[in-house]
A and B are shown apart, each in its own frame.
Chain A
Amino acid sequence: MSGPKMKFVFPRVLTERPFHYCPGCHHGIVHRLLAEVLEELELRERAYGVASIGCACFLYYYFDIDICEAPHGRACAAATGAKRARPELAVFTYQGDGDFAAIGLNESLQAAARGERITAIMINNTVYGMTGGQLSPTTLPGQRTTTTPEGRDPRMYGYPLKVAEILAQFPGVAYCARVAVNSPRRVLEARQALRQAFLAQLEDRGFGYVEVLSACPVNWKLDPVSANKKVDELTQTFPLKIFRTWEGL
């Protein structure tokens, strides 16, 4: 066989504990990418992660770095405190759409508007995953959830909140992108976006934000392959795009 050799390298930043996530869930992929980026940028020894409330609150089982747990929705405020106290730390939050954009929207927007030198990763799977698939701010119109059994009715619940599009308007935000991880090419793009979102704080440019459209097969009531495909549908409401970056990047 010719061509470049494939080699499996396990990122040192990850622990060897198997992920507890459901089959077909995208958290595992994003965790892996995050670990690779932390390693590439040599951040293991100065990383400070904020684990939020949701399926990924167990972040600390999988990452061999310093991690603090924040109350539901307050990850960006806790991250602000840590970064302001010790600016040498590389501070990031890992949140879901409910945590970042519902209960914590104010803390999220205000941290972004202040241009906090932190990196926020929002996993957007359009439902509350851990509590069993309830309506979230990013649920699509017509989408069935356990609390909208007939589908999200815009007359009752309005329309999905497009967080990346909001943050893109803030001068304090240095990097803002929405990515997906449902194809090999998108996985590589997502990795690149995470890297830039960390560079935004490392180069003292401002707030870094990456929104990841993610599959939640169990709560979407789909098999993993169909859920993976359904992410393509989400991109019609939530376009994949680099919304904001800095010159010369």
Chain B
Amino acid sequence: MKTLLVKGSEAIALGALAADCRCYFGYPITPQNEIPELMARELPKRGGVFLQAESELAAVNMLLGAASTGVRAMTSSSSPGISLMAETFSYLAALELPAVIVNVSRGGPGLGGIEASQGDYFQATRGAGHGDYHFLVLSPASIQEAYELTARAFSLAEKYRQPALILTDALLGQMKEPLRLRRLRFPRYPVEDWALTGARGRPGRTLRSLFLGPGELRARNLLLQRKYQAMRREARAEILYAEGAELVVTAFGSLSRIVREAVEMAREKGYPVAFLRPITLFPFPDRPYRKLAEGGQPFLVVELNCGQMVEDVRLAVCGRSRVESLALPPSDLPAPEDIYRRIRRCLAQR
């Protein structure tokens, strides 16, 4: 098996290629340009399509067109570009198109900055566009996982006829780690019964989201909601040291690496602290949170934003435990020691 030293953004592109992504559409924005650049080099060689669009708006609509024909397709961008795509996200969800979108997020609001940030958690998990809909949201914590989750995203998107979003950030996107190019075997799902491929030997098909008849839109919404319920079985989380824990520290994505180091420090000093990392942000893995809250242990939610995932943790534990927030707005990354000090304070409050 080949091992490469690559950036997170490159690992995402390689994961897409491993999943046989056939079309990539995108527009340049820092810090994710390695994705389109790798795709521009590699996709045409494999008979695929790389096209640089005139804007993120055009890119996501090219994605809509390509995905509507049942072909595996993706786009990527960073926070402001993702905002620009938001209207079409709503259409992708409404048309039930299996498209993959990557957000290598940066600091906001506005032009913000190009440093690592998790400020797009709400945008990713609440939908960003109009109407009642959700994306599947996956968040890797390592370069290996970025590769594998991207490939998995294509499979899940096809399984549920549903857009899937990879939420990562400038830190993971730009840092390098060894990547083992494992052969990935996530299943493919048939597209023949819905994709627009020309009405050969069948009546014409329509992919639409306009429903004006009495009760039609309600039925449509309920259908989507049933699908989102069914998607709950895809919830995934990484749990460490749950046994006998007196505090649960939780974080997602690249920051979880620093948080995990702080947890290890605490444990070395004899503090029984658990580590919980959601891998899917939607569906949010409520179950391990609920289970860990049964004993009433407090939670500490650490995020590189002003406190967003903490709301989902509070909903999951539903008042059974105290939930504290260590919200770190973007600029500087915390050191493990900063988080370790907060862990000790939390434990002292017991």
Contact = CB atoms under 8 A, between A and B. Distances in A.
A17 B71 CA distance: 31
Interface string A182-198: 00000000000000000
A232 interface: no
Contacts of B196: 48, 66-68, 82
B53 interface: yes
B69 A48 contact: yes
Given A60-B206, A106-B55, A45 B64 contact: no
B57 A107 contact: yes
B210 A81 contact: no
A77 B201 contact: no
A56 to B, nearest CB: 12
A88 B203 CA distance: 18
Interface of B: 22-23, 25, 49, 51, 53-55, 57-59, 61-69, 71, 73, 87-88, 91, 95, 196-201, 203-210
A229 interface: no
B197 A89 contact: yes
A237 B85 CA distance: 36
B69 A77 contact: no
Contacts of A48: 69, 196, 198
A69 interface: yes
Contacts of B88: 71, 74
B65 A81 contact: yes
A65 B58 contact: no
B200 A45 contact: yes
A67 B54 contact: no
A78 B51 contact: no
Contact of B66 (A50, A69, A82, A106): A82
Contacts of A45: 198-201
A68 B68 contact: yes
Q: Which 5 A-B pairs have the closest CB atoms?
A: A81-B65, A81-B62, A77-B61, A78-B65, A85-B66
B69 A79 contact: no
A74 B71 CA distance: 19
Nearest to B53: A77
B208 A71 contact: no
B343 to A, nearest CB: 46
Contacts of A89: 69, 197-198
A69 B210 contact: yes
Nearest to A53: B210
B207 A110 contact: no
A81 B207 CA distance: 15
A162 interface: no
A66 B205 contact: yes
Interface residues of A, number: 34
A152 interface: no
A102 interface: no
Contacts of A67: 196, 204-208
Interface in A63-109: 63-71, 74, 77-86, 88-89, 106-107
Contacts of A85: 22-23, 49, 65-66, 69, 71, 73
Given A60-B204, A60-B206, A69-B95, A86 B197 contact: yes
Interface string A35-77: 0000000001111101100000100100111111111001001
A64 B66 CA distance: 21
Given A64-B204, A66-B205, A86-B71, A80 B51 contact: yes
A221 B244 CA distance: 78
Contact of B58 (A47, A68, A106): A106
A148 B69 CA distance: 42
Contacts of B95: 68-69
A71 B131 CA distance: 14
Contacts of B208: 51, 60, 67-69
Contacts of B203: 64
A46 B55 CA distance: 29
Contacts of A74: 57-58, 61, 64, 88
A81 B66 contact: yes
Nearest to A82: B65
A69 B54 contact: no
A46 B62 contact: no
B65 A110 contact: no
A106 B61 CA distance: 13
A78 B205 CA distance: 16
A64 B58 CA distance: 27
25 contacts: A45-B198, A48-B198, A65-B198, A66-B197, A67-B206, A68-B206, A69-B207, A70-B65, A71-B64, A77-B53, A78-B61, A81-B25, A81-B63, A81-B66, A82-B68, A82-B69, A84-B62, A85-B49, A85-B71, A85-B73, A86-B71, A106-B54, A106-B58, A107-B61, A110-B53
A96 to B, nearest CB: 15
A66 B65 contact: no
A210 to B, nearest CB: 20
Contacts of A86: 69, 71, 197-198
A80 B62 contact: yes
A47 B61 contact: no
B65 A79 contact: yes
